[in-house]
Amino acid sequence: MDLKALRAEKAMTVPVFASAQEAETAFYAAFENADHEAMMGVWSQDEDIECIHPLGERLVGVAAVGESWRQILTRDKRMQFQLRQSNRYQDGELAIHSLYEDISIDGKSQPPVVTVNIYRFNGTGWQMILHHASPATRINRESDKQDPGADHTIH
């Protein structure tokens, strides 16, 4: 099969999300179900996509983002998400969702993660273009005890 035919076949199987919220729901369902194909179906296939996993490097492009999700989703650990304090902004072709992920792995609660997900309308549906997740816990708990009023923000 030639490259043009392969791209056409792949384009026919890409899901269309009517809203950014629908895309986000599919993103977390794919994550919980460890479904790499469904996960990448949420993402735009444009090379300007970006993903930053907690404490991870900035990944740019379909290949790098896809490989990172393949590695995460092939682990034996089952992840479940509770999303909270979601703030959403949408204007025309861009939607920004800021939220907290409360994650449990194999039933054990993990520290919360603060996340920003950005979606872009591609003319027919919404697709993810950025996922940035960072630990929401304090970095230096000892200094919090010494000076609880101090600002420990990194930037």
Residue 7 lies in a domain: no
78-102 mean pLDDT: 95
pLDDT at 139 over 50: no
Phi–psi pair at 52, nearest 5 degrees? -130, 110
> Which of 14-18, 141-145, 147-151 has the largest mean confidence?
14-18
Q: What is the pairing mode between strands 108-109 and 113-121?
A: unpaired
- Predicted confidence band of residue 76 (pLDDT cuts 50, 70, 90): confident
CA gap 56, 58 in Å, rounded: 7
- Tally of domains in the chain: 1
Q: What is the mean pLDDT of the chain?
A: 86
The CATH number of whichever domain residue 32 belongs to comes to 3.10.450.50
Q: What is the pairing mode between strands 50-52 and 126-135?
A: parallel
pLDDT at 118 over 60: yes
Residue 40 lies in a domain: yes
pTM of the model: 0.81
113-132 mean pLDDT: 97
pLDDT score, position 144: 46
pLDDT score, position 153: 45
- Token output for 21: 């919220």
pLDDT digit string (tens) for 15-72?
899 999 999 999 999 999 999 999 999 999 999 999 999 999 999 999 999 999 999 9
Structural domain span for residue 46: 16-138
CB contact set of 45 (below 8 Å; sequence gap of 6+):
10, 14, 62, 127
- Predicted confidence band of residue 149 (pLDDT cuts 50, 70, 90): low
Residue 121 lies in a domain: yes
Whether residue 83 contacts residue 104, with contact meaning beta carbons closer than 8 Å, is answered with no
pLDDT score, position 35: 96
Residue 102 lies in a domain: yes
CA gap 71, 74 in Å, rounded: 6
